[in-house]
Amino acid sequence: MNDYTDRQPSNDRRSRTRREIKQLIAERNEVLSMYCNLAGCDGTSVNTDEIEPEQIQEFCQLLIDYIAIGHFELYQRISEGVERRHEIVKLADSIYPRIEKTTQIAVEFNDKYDSGNDLSDISKDQLTHHLSKLGEELATRIELEDQLINTLLTAKSNENAEVMQ
């Protein structure tokens, strides 16, 4: 391919980034909704006897899909060195190690609970503890993602303002 076809016009990149952000947030909202159902975010205690293995499997699939969108859509351009905006690269370099830790914890949760096994083998305390730990990590991940999203959107606005001057 020639240089022209290898480069996306900046409007196409911005549009793609906005779509990726929108998809990430939609997936994140699904995960949070299901997480709250499983973890009893409404203040009710979790009763593992009432949680079906299919619910955990569905949650795990949503969780992994959400994690994958971040890594393979939003962060890929940065990790490949294609992102040109210094502010975004600098922020990503500082937060990515912590985001990676949240990924590891989510994958560990998935590996433990997406087996399709009967949940009676897992004590209520274990599931409650693992859901709580996962919830803390998801909160951290969301906070870091929001920093990156805001910087991506702000950097675009600044870039547009510079072009108009």
Write out the H or E segment, with its range, that includes residue 42.
Answer: none
Positive or negative, the CA dihedral 11, 14, 20, 23 is negative
Domain annotation covers residue 31:
yes
CA 46 vs CA 3, 43, 117, 120: distances in Å: 56, 9, 18, 14
| pLDDT single digits (tens) 99-144 | 999 999 999 999 988 875 556 666 666 888 899 999 999 999 999 9
Per the structure, the count of domains in the chain is: 1
83: left (phi over 0), alpha (psi -120 to 50) or beta: beta
Query: Whole-angstrom Cα distance, residue 75 to residue 20?
Result: 10
Domain annotation covers residue 77:
yes
Q: What is the pLDDT along the chain (165 residues), one digit of tens a residue?
A: 444 444 555 667 778 888 999 999 999 999 999 999 888 887 766 666 677 778 889 999 999 999 999 888 888 878 787 888 889 989 999 999 999 999 999 999 999 888 755 566 666 668 888 999 999 999 999 999 999 999 988 875 444 444 333
Question: What does the DSSP assignment read for the chain?
Answer: --HHHHSPPHHHHHHHHHHHHHHHHHHHHHHHHHHHHHHTTTSPPP-GGG--HHHHHHHHHHHHHHHHHIIIIITHHHHTT----HHHHHHHHHHHHHHHHHHHHHHHHHHHHTT---GGGS-HHHHHHHHHHHHHHHHHHHHHHHHHHHHHHHHHHHHHHHHH-
Domain annotation covers residue 143:
yes
pTM: 0.81
Supply the CATH number for residue 115's domain: 1.20.120.1370
Query: Whole-angstrom Cα distance, residue 72 to residue 32?
Result: 20
Domain annotation covers residue 165:
no
Domain annotation covers residue 155:
yes
- What pLDDT is recorded for position 81? 79
- What pLDDT is recorded for position 10? 63
Neighbours of 5 (CB within 10 A): 7
Range of the domain at 126: 3-160
- What pLDDT is recorded for position 9? 58
